[in-house]
Amino acid sequence: MALLQRVAEQGRRVVRFTLDGRPVEALEGDTILTAMLTNGDHLRRSEFADSPRAGFCLMGACQDCWVRTEEGDRLRACGTFIAEGMRLVSASEWTAAGGEGQP
């Protein structure tokens, strides 16, 4: 299920957040991208192609990793750190109705 695999630095403090309403755990110092992709296999669905996306460059250039919070805020997942109690969403509102993805 998880896309990213932890191979080091696993002694960090646990941070709890929710992903699509499900309570999950990450580690302090994880980016939102790491937190979501160690608990799932995508960050969002493309609003134009209705395909799952999981980021690409991890250094703030491609802008492919914008995710939503339940409150509707948009965050760049590779450049924002996870925080206790965040409520993140990996399903896209554009494609929730099952359309072709035209906003």
Partner 1 sequence: MTRALSPVIVGAGPAGIRAAEALVAAGLRPVLIDEAARGGGQIYRQPPDGGFTRPKTALYGTEAAKADAVHRALDRIRDRVDYRPRTLVWNCERGALDLLCDGVTDTIPYGPLILATGATDRVLPFPGWTLPGVFTLGGSQVALKFQGCAIGRRVAFLGTGPLLYLVACQYLKAGVEVAGVFDTTPQTVQARALPGMLRDPATLAKGLALVGWLRLHGVPVHHGIRPIAVEGEGRVRALRVRHGAGEIAVECDAVAFGLGLRSETQLADLAGCAFRFDPMDRAWLPVRDTAGRTSVPGLYIAGDGGGIAGADAAELAGERAARAALEDAGLPVDAARVAWLDRRLARVAAFRRALNAAFPFPQDWAATIPDDLMLCRCEGVSAGTLRGVGQRGEAREINRAKALTRVGMGRCQGRVCGAAAAELLAGALGVGPDAVGRLRAQPPIKPLPITATPVQEATP
Residues that bind partner 1 (CB under 8 A): 3-13, 27-31, 34, 37-38, 41-42, 46, 48-49, 51-64, 66, 74, 78-79, 81, 101
Question: How do 87-89 and 14-19 pair as beta strands?
Answer: parallel
Kindly state the smallest distance separating residue 21's Cβ from partner 1, in Å.
Answer: 20
Kindly state the smallest distance separating residue 98's Cβ from partner 1, in Å.
Answer: 16
Q: For partner 1, which is the closer residue by CB, 60 or 87? A: 60
Rounded Cα distance, 47 and 72, in Å = 15
3 state SS of 36: helix
Kindly state the smallest distance separating residue 29's Cβ from partner 1, in Å.
Answer: 4
Q: What angle do CA 51, 23, 34 make, to 5 degrees?
A: 55
